[in-house]
Amino acid sequence: MPIIDTLLKMSLYVSLVLIVPGPTNTLLLSSGLKSGVRNTWPLIIAEALGYVASISAWGFFLHAFAANHVWIVYAVKIASSAYILYLAISMWRRSAIIQNSSMRLVSLHEMFITTLTNPKAFIFASALFPPEAFQTVHYYAWSFAVFLIVLVPIGATWSGLGRFLALRKSVATHATTVLRGVSLVLLTFSGTLFYSAIYR
């Protein structure tokens, strides 16, 4: 079914962007270091709520605006491609962030606001979620169900990584290698998105 193929592709690209170190993942890592995985679950819920609110706002705004300004779709794709390129380069250069996260308590309010203002939400709404997600309730529900299915284990992984590094800090160098590998995948995705905006 087309909807299944579209959502599977979306889940792949969403997971690549979600896993990139950023403000939200840094807070999860920090909470895992300080409080452990079990006490970090409320923060993952706050992250999910923040993303749902932000992606919905961006998605409905862009859908309404693009209806009379077709060029905005291509401009947004190019901007999204540039930001994903920035994420890839940033991850490569600063992947050592997982070794230097500060050990402090994180509040639910801080997690929600940080996620609400995370630029990744714009990427999801403008380039990774199917346009139909902001046109029908059925597609909207399925798209966010897939998004949350991807988000929860990634959030738990960042929290678990924090806890693991608190116990075995020597493994941080291996985690850095993996993250740099993901940065290369993001670089490829950035190029693909840019190509689709220019040649369609």
Spell out the domain ranges in the chain: 2-198
Reported as a pLDDT band with limits 50, 70 and 90, residue 82 is confident
183 or 49: which leads in pLDDT: 49
DSSP, res 127? I
DSSP, res 1? -
Torsion angles phi and psi, residue 136, rounded to 5: -135, 150
pLDDT, one tens digit per residue, over 103-114 is: 456 788 888 988
Which region holds residue 36: left if phi is over 0, alpha if psi is between -120 and 50, else beta?
left
Instruction: List all residues 6 or more positions away from 188 whose beta carbon is below 8 Å from its beta carbon.
Output: none
Neighbours of 2 (CB within 10 A): 8
pLDDT, one tens digit per residue, over 15-28 is: 988 988 777 887 78
Q: What is the b/e burial string over 80-112, where b = at least 16 CB atoms within 10 angstroms of the residue's CB?
A: bbebbbebbebbbeebebbeebeeeebeeeebb
Reported as a pLDDT band with limits 50, 70 and 90, residue 41 is very high
Query: Rounded to whole angstroms, how far apart are CA atoms 124 and 150?
Result: 13
Residue that the structure tokens 């059925």 belong to:
138
| 21, 89 Cβ separation under 8 angstroms | no
pLDDT given at position 65? 76
Tell me which residue of 79, 54, 95, 92 sits closest to 194, measured CA to CA: 79
Query: Rounded to whole angstroms, how far apart are CA atoms 10 and 55?
Result: 14
Reported as a pLDDT band with limits 50, 70 and 90, residue 51 is very high
Compute the mean pLDDT over every residue in the chain, rounded to the nearest whole number.
Answer: 80
Q: Is the pLDDT of residue 100 over 70?
A: no
Identify residue 140 by its one-letter amino acid code. Answer: Y
Q: Is the pLDDT of residue 95 over 80?
A: no
Identify residue 145 by its one-letter amino acid code. Answer: A
Residue that the structure tokens 């690209």 belong to:
13
